[in-house]
Structure 1
């Protein structure tokens, strides 16, 4: 299930014309039920399996706070991405861009339905780019949507380790679209994609284990560390793993993040992760919802966003540590647009440098079916039960053998006593025979 929350801008004109603080109204949740399936499975000879992931989304209006037809006002991401990218281009190019936007009547904010924002709408800039941009630089789509082309079997090919050759690699990605690593960053550790797709992890996890998940939209593998023990349905125990609090920290706070900033400095501020390298250079910054773990100044730069709540906005996965199975998950991410002011383009000349929130979503699993957790409980409890039963049986058998041994020992002792008594009795008879004379005949 995925829950979508959209920041609807309620004062777009005042913000652009008067420089007032933008005001947003958080709408949602808009709830979609997901069906996950791995298509075209092929088991390879090197202990891996290759498949095409499929995610099908069905809108559930009964669980939603509105309809897909609800109209929202949001920043024009294609336009603002183009203007921000042109900031360091030649001035005549920026002026030409302003003229084109005038002709096409493109504005910094768009009014679209929730369904269009998520699944796609025709954008004049993308349509123009299709005709004028060189073939090798063309975008692979003609419409814009935050989840465009995701409601189907994707073209992405994933190969996972089955664990047949090495159980510690079970469920981890070997290749993504034929690549063993990403091509974006300056160090191998940042390009590494040896991680789970989020559904299953290697078994025998401990509280010291660091697990990783990879999604192409995250543009990296995300580490998660142990937070606490939890109990799932059917009393199945699990470990809760969450991203470290410094996972999106600035390079000043966490120097290990420097390799995620190949074009910097400047790099993304603390609490944000720059995914522009995976989004056709669009200035998209990811954060946790409501700017959780970011400086509060980014939240207060926009009016209408409540303070972050760790329980509502934290990212976590509950994993059964013995089996490595995901039992519950809440993957919560916010999508933001880093807008740069470009004074030569009149449409955005008054648009300040700002990290503008667009939407946030919660994708995850509330729990596994009772039948599955029942089997899991059996799987993790049978070995100890069997061990206890076997120990009991062995103890009983040992006790019986001990009793038999003692009984046989006592019986053997009694027999030995009888054997020792017989010679004494014969000796006495011999003496009597001596008294009676030869041949046992009476002596007169």
Structure 2
């Protein structure tokens, strides 16, 4: 038994030594190690990819899908806008919006708070030979022009109200501001000799009265001279005489005003309620034309219901804005209260104002002439005899005083003024009127409105010999030039965009919107396809890794 145990122990030791003496191949060891590492790495990659897919799926509803939905929304929006703009152009949309004069938008704000500077240049006429004219030495009164005296006319638009009937009401206030830097020093304090238009105005009021009325007037008026020496400032703003104060006390019906200052008469009540047409209800050619002025459809002072001539406002504008889309054959009507009538402007030629194409409209020399049918001529005059060509009655706007408007220096016309006056130098450059208008928006780029006020005296008798010297005479008072030299840079930029670039964008903008929309939709579709491909590829890759690991394990076990 002991020998048997010893034999088993030797056998076991030999087997153990045999197994310990077996040597493995190093390449097989490296392959096994590589297989182990690959399996670990692949398992970790599979785990990371699963985690990444899970995270991406969790985020897709918040981030990924939001971007996709935004691209779909904007892509569809751009395509719809392209289709709409191909039907209604951007130019039409913007111009229609402008017709509505919507608050807070540039067209409304630029009109509500006018920025362009308007210069008012005033010229007056001094008498050179007053005494010689009165005593008969000189048959004609010699006059000399003095000026310009330069002011800035301030324009305010207040109490603006929009109405449901596509009209807009506002109060226009105008006043003058003296500009010292643009005038000769001390010009307002300079003394001048001028006809006593206050006294002559009272004379015209009783020219047809009985002799018994003229006697007390002649007695009172002896305190006044027919030519007075006063300052330029008084001539403009404070023209009063002893006779005026006395007549106002005893014969007030002869004195419609207590101050005959030439500019005071114009600006004493320059606050007017105006109603104009706006909105697409009216076409572009009626945009901002006057519907009522001072709550009336006629020129102030004319009352057709009482038998007056129907002085139509003629769809005129104040001149701050003209109708839109103006054509060459259209007559622009310019309304100015101081002229007391609409003034027609006719196309003359195209002009280039910087980057803007514009139309130049001018007045014709016959605009103050008599009509063939005098019954339809609302401005023929206030006496039995109609005014001569070149003069237009404006008495109803000046308290009934016999005042008529003409072109400065009676430009373009000759008449009875040539018989008793001397010193006029009429010419178009200095005395013609014009407006240069950007035709798309109807905005004036440069305009000059010139007019002259004259005192019209009828045939006189029953007065002093000196007063009778002014019988059937036209006495010039002042003439004014209202000049808009340019518009502001902001208005210019807006006009350049709407008139030069906006029409060209009619076809470009829809194409751009269409391309942008298609690009966004294309990227959405491409992203969806990529996601589908990526999802399928990930699954195949994961299965391939698992099959590869399974094969390697089987190979190693075999």
TM-score for the superposition, normalised by structure 2: 0.64
Which range moves more in the overlay, 340-349 or 219-228? 340-349
Give the corresponding residue for 1:175.
292
Instruction: Kindly indicate whether the alpha-carbon contact (under 8 Å) linking 1:54 and 1:152 is maintained by their aligned counterparts in 2.
Output: no
Change (3 A) 1:266 1:212: same
Distance in 2 of aligned mates of 1:385 and 1:164: 23
2:188 aligned counterpart, secondary structure: coil
Q: Confirm or deny that 1:324 pairs with 2:442.
A: yes
Is residue 318–residue 327 contact of structure 1 (8 Å, CA) maintained in 2?
yes
Equivalent residue for 2:316, pick from 195, 199, 202: 195
Name the structure 2 match of 1:43. 162
Which is worse superposed, 144-153 or 326-335?
Answer: 144-153
Return the structure number with greater helix share: 2
After superposition, where does 1:290-301 map in structure 2 within 5 Å? 290-295=409-414, 298-299=417-418, 301=420
- Give the distance between the partners of 2:280 and 2:506, measured in 1 at CA: 26
The answer to which structure, 1 or 2, has the higher relative contact order (CA under 8 A, 6+ apart) is 2
Do the aligned partners of 1:2 and 1:361 also contact (CA within 8 Å) in 2? yes
What is the CA distance between 1:138 and its match in structure 2?
Answer: 6.9
1:330 shift after superposition: 0.4
Deviations, residues 355-382 of structure 1 (Å, cap 9, x unaligned):
1222211112011123321221111122
Indicate yes or no: 2:152 matched with 1:62.
no
The aligned residue for residue 81 of structure 2 is none
Matches within 5 A, 1:321-400: 321-346=439-464, 347-387=466-506, 389=508
Question: Against the structure 1 CA distance between its residues 193 and 389, is the aligned structure 2 distance closer, same or farther, given a 3 Å change threshold?
Answer: closer
Q: 3-state SS of the aligned residue for 2:206?
A: helix
CA 1:64–1:155: 2 relative to 1, 3 Å: same
| Structure 2 gap segments, 5+ residues each | 1-118, 517-558
Contact 1:272 1:287 in 2 (8 A): yes
Aligned to 1:156, the other structure's residue is in SS state strand
Which residue number in structure 1 is paired with residue 51 of structure 2?
none
Is 1:147 the counterpart of 2:263? The answer is: yes
**Rg: which structure is higher?**
2
Counterpart-to-counterpart distance in 1, 2:248 and 2:188? 28
What is the CA distance between 1:394 and its match in structure 2? 11
Using the alignment, how far apart are the partners of 1:56 and 1:6 within structure 2?
19
Match of residue 206 from structure 2: 86
* Structure 1 gap segments, 5+ residues each: 398-444
Give the secondary-structure state (helix, strand or coil) at the position aligned to 1:171.
coil
Which of 122, 127, 149 is the matching residue for 1:4?
122
Aligned equivalents of 1:271 and 1:4: distance in 2? 20
Aligned partner of 1:239 in structure 2 is: 359
Secondary structure of residue in 1 paired with 2:132: helix
Q: Deviation per CA, 1:101-123: give whole Å up to 9, x if none.
A: 12xx0222222211121222334
What SS is found at the alignment partner of 1:38? strand
Answer yes or no: is the 8 Å Cα contact 2:206–2:214 preserved in 1.
yes
Q: Is this contact kept in 2: 1:330–1:363, CA < 8 A? A: yes
CA distance in 2: counterparts of 1:251 and 1:266, whole angstroms: 14
Instruction: Work out whether 1:205 is the aligned partner of 2:326.
Output: yes
Contact 1:251 1:267 in 2 (8 A): no
Distance 1:174 1:42 in 2: 14
Could you tell me whether the CA contact under 8 Å between 2:456 and 2:473 is conserved in 1? Answer: yes
Corresponding residue SS for 1:312: helix
Contact 2:389-2:415 within 8 A present in 1 as well: no
Query: Quick check: 2:449–2:483 contact (8 Å CA) kept in 1?
Result: yes
Partners in 2 of 1:349 and 1:297 — Cα distance? 16
1:313 and 2:431 are equivalent in the alignment: yes
2:217 paired residue number:
97
8 Å CA contact retained: 1:249, 1:257 = no
Q: 1:377 to 1:87 in 2, by over 3 A?
A: same
Q: Give the alignment's TM-score, normalised by structure 1.
A: 0.79
Structure 1 residue 351, shift from structure 2 partner = 2.9
Structure 2 Cα separation of the partners of residues 25 and 263 of structure 1: 28
**Number of residue pairs matched by the alignment:** 390
Q: 1:216 to 1:184 in 2, by over 3 A?
A: farther
* CA 1:257–1:10: 2 relative to 1, 3 Å: farther
Q: CA deviation at 1:301?
A: 3.7
Which is worse superposed, 92-101 or 175-184? 175-184
The CA deviation at 1:221 is 1.6
The secondary structure found in structure 2 opposite 1:246 is coil
CA distance in 2, matches of 1:134, 1:12: 29
8 Å contact 1:290–1:299 — kept in the other structure? no
Report deviation, 1:212: 1.0
Partners of 1:250 and 1:257 within 8 A in 2: no
Alignment RMSD, CA only?
A: 2.9
State the shift of 1:126 in Å: 4.3
Q: Distance in 2 between matches of 1:184 and 1:293?
A: 32
SS in 2 for 1:148: helix
Distance 1:187 1:383 in 2: 48
Q: Which has the higher strand share?
A: 1
Give the corresponding residue for 2:24.
Answer: none
CA 1:296–1:130: 2 relative to 1, 3 Å: closer
Q: 2: distance between equivalents of 1:205 and 1:145?
A: 39
